[in-house]
Amino acid sequence: MSLPQTARRTFAVDRFERPSAIAFTGGFLALALVIWSFSGSELSAEKLIRGIPYMGNILTRMFPPDLSRSEQIFWSLATTFQMAVSGCVLGLILSFPLAILAADGLSPHPVVRVLARGLIAFFRTVPDLIWALFFVIAVGLGPAAGVLALMIDTIGYAGRFFAEAMEETDKGPREALSTIGASKTGLIFSAVVPNAMPSFIATSLFCVEKATRASVVLGLVGAGGIGVELKVAFDLFDYDTALTIILAVFALVVAVEQIGGWLRRRII
């Protein structure tokens, strides 16, 4: 017995549309790019197999973790977290006015908008390790260089998302306030910022998590914190102490992520 026409339509399987010549060419170029990237990476199964004994040796020497320097590791970890919070807070504070200058419809002039977006993109493009090296040369070794590097990195990240959040707000309240003669500052703080606040909070919390992870790496170039301890442990082949540091960093990152997720659920 044949199915009704409506049933046949229900069970019909959607097919992929035949790609256009432009789409086919784009897909082919993307595949060629992936293959070219792997060919230049010099990654091979032979190297992985040859490296397994060395990895096994390192892992064997890591266990059990050495807890004899737990107190010093704890205080270095606390310094790392202080770097992350300080740099993130400074970056978020400076991101807000820069994002206003970069937001379409809020910037005072198109040239200012282009310059502000270019500055944010530049801060985001340069890796945080490069900023850390720059500030280590400028202000010397220690956490101060790490705080400044994290501040710049946060501006590059939060500035972009703050600007996009303000651009995506409902333009109705903004236009209503404009018709009654509200100033640009009044429009921003009465109509734009309240609507964009949930996005601001989510971005800020994620920046704290991001800065916590980045602050560990910055210590490898002399920017202070637990990264210095980790570098010294590996330089001295003290792998059991290195494992203790890695576990401590893991605990800190997980704790910050869990607290950030809980705050997002409660506030947003």
pLDDT in tens, 123-133: 988 888 888 88
Confidence of residue 151 (pLDDT cuts 50, 70, 90): very high
Q: Which two tokens stand for residue 107?
A: 């910037």
Q: Are 171 and 181 a contacting pair, CB within 8 Å?
A: no
List all residues 6 or more positions away from 191 whose beta carbon is below 8 Å from its beta carbon.
169, 173, 174, 176, 177
For residue 158, which of 196, 115, 215, 129 has the smallest C-alpha distance?
A: 196
Task: Write down how long the chain is.
Answer: 268
Query: Coil, strand or helix: which one is 183?
Result: coil
Does position 119 have pLDDT exceeding 60, yes or no? Answer: yes
Q: Which residue has the higher pLDDT, 193 or 160?
A: 160
CA–CA gap between residue 117 and residue 109 (Å, rounded):
12
CA separation (Å) from 110 to 103, 105, 107?
A: 10, 9, 7
What integer is the mean pLDDT of 144-161?
A: 90
Dihedral through CA 111, CA 113, CA 117, CA 123, nearest 10?
Answer: 80
CA–CA gap between residue 35 and residue 44 (Å, rounded):
13
CA–CA gap between residue 213 and residue 149 (Å, rounded):
13
Predicted confidence (pLDDT) per residue in 60-107, tens digit: 877 887 787 788 888 888 888 888 899 999 999 999 899 888 888 777
Q: Are 203 and 268 a contacting pair, CB within 8 Å?
A: no
State the pLDDT at residue 154.
92
- Measured in whole angstroms, the distance separating CA 247 from the mean position of its chain's CA atoms is 21
Residue that has been written with the tokens 């703080």 in this structure: 189
Does position 13 have pLDDT exceeding 70, yes or no? Answer: no
> What percent of the chain clears pLDDT 70, i.e. is strictly above it?
90
CA–CA gap between residue 78 and residue 237 (Å, rounded):
24
